[in-house]
């Protein structure tokens, strides 16, 4: 996250005073400051998601666990380094656990996010935390035997009407090509209304359309969603495993739910397995792949309209 002065803020999963993670700042001239070291006792530990900064300079994020076996928390860090737990997750069946994604914020200072586990069926949740710290469980995944999606790991995006959009790594009702050892199904793109009604906009098959989306979606003014899927696409010797195409794709899902593959990665010298999300500047999309490229060590790419 970047503020108006050009300072960058982020988290590390480990390291810091207690090796349980940090919140850090890198100034515009490259100077790093550790703003907070997690202790695992009363403040959780091991933050994985990105940060959100408000106009007053407060930072908001999530941490996945603590040393006493808790389920994670949503936190606020003041500019002076004061840590406040806004909500401590209690796990299934009444609450989420393992909040791997970051948070987003509306105009009323309510926060929204996902947990990869917990909820009524143990398959993850979409939640809201009010300015006062009251949590509302908006949706629990797994209500339709997984056809509604499971294990959301990415940030949400929000439209002007308050609808929330995101992706799940698993679920979607299709399990033919996406067995990664822990996820059932190839994943979904979903919508959750302000009153908690969920709609699966698209369920991946793991074939040419892609599968197992891991990262944040990008929403354009017309309501189209853009993202990356870590597997699927085209199959070739460069990136096929057990007959499964694993190169990955960049996709668009229209507001109507129609999916279009914008690019199917082909492995060396093209990219392979886009685990990172997208950045949209104008009509262009930018991203990274973990593998592929000239040396099979990953790429930075641009996709034209």
Tell me, yes or no, whether 32 lies in a domain: yes
Which residues, in sequence order, are CB contacts of 275 under 8 Å at separation 6+?
A: 214, 215, 228, 230, 288, 289, 290
Task: Please state whether 187 falls in left (phi above 0), alpha (psi between -120 and 50) or beta.
Answer: left
**Mean pLDDT, rounded, for 243-267:** 89
Q: Tokens 């990955």 correspond to what residue?
A: 248
Which residues, in sequence order, are CB contacts of 304 under 8 Å at separation 6+?
A: 283, 284
Greatest Cα pair distance in the chain: 54
At residue 178, the pLDDT reads 62
Please choose, from the candidates 129, 102, 133, 134, the residue with its C-alpha nearest in 3D space to the C-alpha of residue 115.
102
Tell me, yes or no, whether 84 lies in a domain: yes
Strand partners, 45: 65
Tokens linked to 300: 């930075």
| 93 preceded by a cis bond (ω within 30 of 0) | yes
Confidence check: pLDDT of 40 > 90: no
Local confidence band at 41 (pLDDT 50, 70, 90 cut-offs): confident
**Mean pLDDT, rounded, for 44-70:** 87
Structure confidence by residue, pLDDT tens digits, 141-171: 988 767 899 999 999 999 999 999 999 998 8
Tell me, yes or no, whether 43 lies in a domain: yes
Find how far residue 262's CA is from the centre of its chain. 20
Tell me, yes or no, whether 264 lies in a domain: no
At residue 68, the pLDDT reads 64
Q: Which helix (H) or strand (E) holds 292?
A: strand 291-292
Q: Based on the structure, what is the number of domains in the chain?
A: 1
Contact 273, 248 (CB under 8 A): yes
At residue 9, the pLDDT reads 95
Could you give the count of Cα atoms lying within 13 Å of 247 in the half-sphere of its Cβ? 27
Rounded CA separation 123/273 (Å) = 24
Confidence check: pLDDT of 173 > 60: yes
Rounded CA separation 217/138 (Å) = 19
Strand partners, 276: none
Tell me, yes or no, whether 208 lies in a domain: no
Tell me, yes or no, whether 75 lies in a domain: yes
Tell me, yes or no, whether 2 lies in a domain: yes
Tell me, yes or no, whether 188 lies in a domain: no
Contact 81, 124 (CB under 8 A): no
Could you give the count of Cα atoms lying within 13 Å of 15 in the half-sphere of its Cβ? 11
Confidence check: pLDDT of 245 > 80: no
Rounded CA separation 69/269 (Å) = 44
Confidence check: pLDDT of 117 > 80: yes
Contact 38, 63 (CB under 8 A): yes
Q: How many CB atoms lie within 10 A of CB 146?
A: 23
**Mean pLDDT, rounded, for 216-237:** 88
Q: Which helix (H) or strand (E) holds 89?
A: none
**Mean pLDDT, rounded, for 181-200:** 86
Q: What is the DSSP string of 175-212?
A: -SS---SS--S--EEEEE-TT--EEEEEE--SSTT-B-
| Full residue range of the structural domain in which residue 72 is found | 1-102
**Mean pLDDT, rounded, for 110-129:** 95
At residue 181, the pLDDT reads 45
């Amino acid at each position: 996250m970047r503020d108006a002065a050009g300072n960058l803020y982020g988290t590390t999963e480990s390291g810091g005073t207690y090796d349980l993670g940090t919140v850090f700042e890198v100034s515009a001239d490259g100077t790093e400051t550790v703003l907070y070291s997690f202790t695992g006792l009363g403040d959780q530990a091991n933050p994985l998601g990105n940060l959100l900064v408000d106009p007053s300079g407060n930072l908001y994020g999530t941490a996945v666990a603590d040393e006493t076996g808790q389920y994670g928390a949503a936190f606020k860090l003041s500019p002076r380094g004061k840590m406040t737990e806004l909500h401590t997750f209690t796990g299934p069946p009444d609450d989420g656990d393992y909040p791997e994604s970051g948070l987003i914020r509306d105009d009323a200072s309510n926060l929204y996010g996902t947990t990869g586990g917990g909820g009524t069926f143990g398959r993850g949740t979409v939640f809201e935390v009010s300015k006062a710290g009251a949590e509302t469980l908006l949706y629990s995944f797994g209500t339709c035997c997984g056809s509604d999606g499971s294990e959301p790991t990415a940030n949400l995006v929000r439209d002007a009407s308050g609808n929330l959009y995101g992706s799940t790594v698993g679920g979607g009702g299709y399990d033919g090509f996406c067995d990664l050892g822990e996820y059932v199904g190839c994943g979904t793109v979903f919508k959750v209304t302000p009153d908690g009604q969920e709609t699966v906009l698209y369920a991946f098959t793991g074939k040419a359309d892609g599968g197992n989306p891991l990262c944040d979606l990008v929403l354009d003014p017309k309501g189209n969603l853009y993202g990356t899927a870590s597997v699927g696409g085209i199959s070739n010797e460069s990136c096929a495993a057990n007959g499964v195409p694993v190169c990955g794709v960049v996709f668009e899902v229209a507001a109507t739910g129609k999916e279009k593959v914008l690019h199917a990665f082909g492995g060396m010298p093209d990219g392979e397995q886009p685990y990172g999300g997208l950045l949209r500047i104008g009509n262009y999309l930018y991203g990274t792949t973990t593998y592929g490229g000239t040396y099979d060590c990953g790429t930075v790419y641009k996709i034209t309209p």
